[in-house]
Structure 1
Amino acid sequence: MSLLIYQGLTSEEITNLELKDIDLENGTIYIKASNTLNRRTLELLNKQILPLSKYIEEVRQKMLRCNTDKLILNKLGKPISVDGIHSIIEPLKTLFPDRKLNPQTIRMSVICNWLNEKKYDLVKVQELAGHKWPGTTEKYIRVDVNAERELINRYFPLI
């Protein structure tokens, strides 16, 4: 869940993660390129490092039921699938009945937050999200209608 919420990863990116992609010492995670997204190295938050370390060193070892380097395993000890990620989110939908909750909407919310709340610049958000084109990232900018109305009235007043 934290990889969806803090790094804004897609389900596919999560399923493709391998053990070698996590660098706990430097607090980073490497995301491979896909047909639609660029490769990138993202910072892990401090609060993610200890749980990830415990998962890799203890929990994953006990769960493992096949020979795989995939990072995230399902409850059967095999690499998690996109459907598996969706099934983890399914029970959480009742907590947000007025929202369409799925990995894609979580990612969209994260990208919107980076741009509109944290005020990261467009290029930084494009890199964090892995978007190949700035136009893809620009779609997440929320327009402040009141500010636009004020500008229009200031420079083009209706007399």
Structure 2
Amino acid sequence: MVKKKPADPIKNKETALDIQDYLKYKRERDYIFFILGISTGYRAGDLVKLKVRDIKTALNNGYFEILEGKKVNSKNIRKENIKPRIVKVIHNLEILLKKYIKGKKDYEYLFPSRKGKYITVSSISRILKEAGEEFGLKNITAHSLRKTFAYSIYVESKYDLLLVKEMLGHSSTEETKVYLGLDRETYDKYSDSLNNLIRVS
């Protein structure tokens, strides 16, 4: 059985901005989901369940405090590790969220589906896959938003793995290293160097 390839982060800033513009013209809901995901690093499964009142609370406090749920399958036993993670509401996100929730009722879901509840993570993945393909990206899903957050922090912090670990709420730097795909990136780079050993013509 072929293992499913993990989602990729959006590493290029211009591409992230292009996808934002693309989503903005398509549907405001999807655009707001995208910017909320890349600026908080919260899991898509937690973001889809947000209501307008949650955003109002975050805007008042200056911080999001979301109980993050991560389902773990081990020997057919399913458990859920839930812990709060606090993230600053950055200025540009604050402006866009205030505009987005204006006129909405507190009990409304922030990202409604056509059926009246909230949009599913699989629907978000489909929307982002289409957006990614528009700009030549192949492996973009809902989880790419969290990975984009992590990768951006990693680069901006001058590759401080411990900082990224703390901001993601990971249990170890090894977990963060795997999450960012750093080993895979290095292995691929050195594998590509073997092209020098092969003459094509």
TM range (shorter): 0.5 to 0.7
Q: What is the TM-score with the length of structure 1 in the denominator?
A: 0.68
Superposed, 1:77-156 pairs within 5 Å as 77-119=116-158, 121-139=160-178, 140=180, 142=182
Report if aligned partners of 1:8, 1:107 keep a CA contact under 8 Å in 2: yes
Q: How does 1:44-55 map to 2 (within 5 A)?
A: 44-55=89-100
Deviation at 1:101, TM superposition (A): 1.4
Q: TM-score, normalised by structure 2?
A: 0.56
Q: Deviations over 1:10-54 (max 9, x none)?
A: 211212334443311232212213135642110122111122122
1:25 maps to 2:60: yes
Deviation at 1:129, TM superposition (A): 1.5
Q: Where does residue 71 of structure 1 map in the other structure? A: 110
Residues 51 and 4 of structure 1, relative CA distance in 2, 3 Å threshold: same
Q: Once the 2 structures are TM-superposed, how far is the Cα of residue 4 of structure 1 from its aligned partner?
A: 1.7
- Name the SS for the 1:29 alignment partner: strand
Which stretch has the larger CA shift, 42-51 or 120-129? 120-129
Give the distance between the partners of 2:170 and 2:49, measured in 1 at CA: 17
1:13 aligned residue (36, 42, 46): 46
Identical pairs, percent = 24
The residue matched to 1:5 in structure 2 has which SS?
A: helix
Q: 1:41 to 1:120 in 2, by over 3 A?
A: farther
**Distance (whole Å) between structure 1 residues aligned to residue 181 and residue 156 of structure 2:** 10
Give the 3-state SS of the residue equivalent to 2:61 in structure 1: coil
Q: CA RMSD in A?
A: 2.9
Matched, 1:39 2:84: yes
**1 or 2, which has the higher strand percentage?**
2
Moved over 6 A (4+): none
Distance 1:75 1:29, change over 3 A: farther
Please tell me whether the aligned partners of residues 17 and 31 of structure 1 are also in contact (alpha carbons under 8 angstroms): no
Q: Is the 8 A contact 2:43 2:68 kept in 1?
A: no
Letter in 2 for 1:27: G
CA contact (8 A) 1:24 1:49 kept: yes
Query: CA offset at residue 3 of structure 1?
Result: 1.6
Aligned length: 139
For 1:111, the aligned partner's letter is A
Matched to 2:119, the amino acid is I
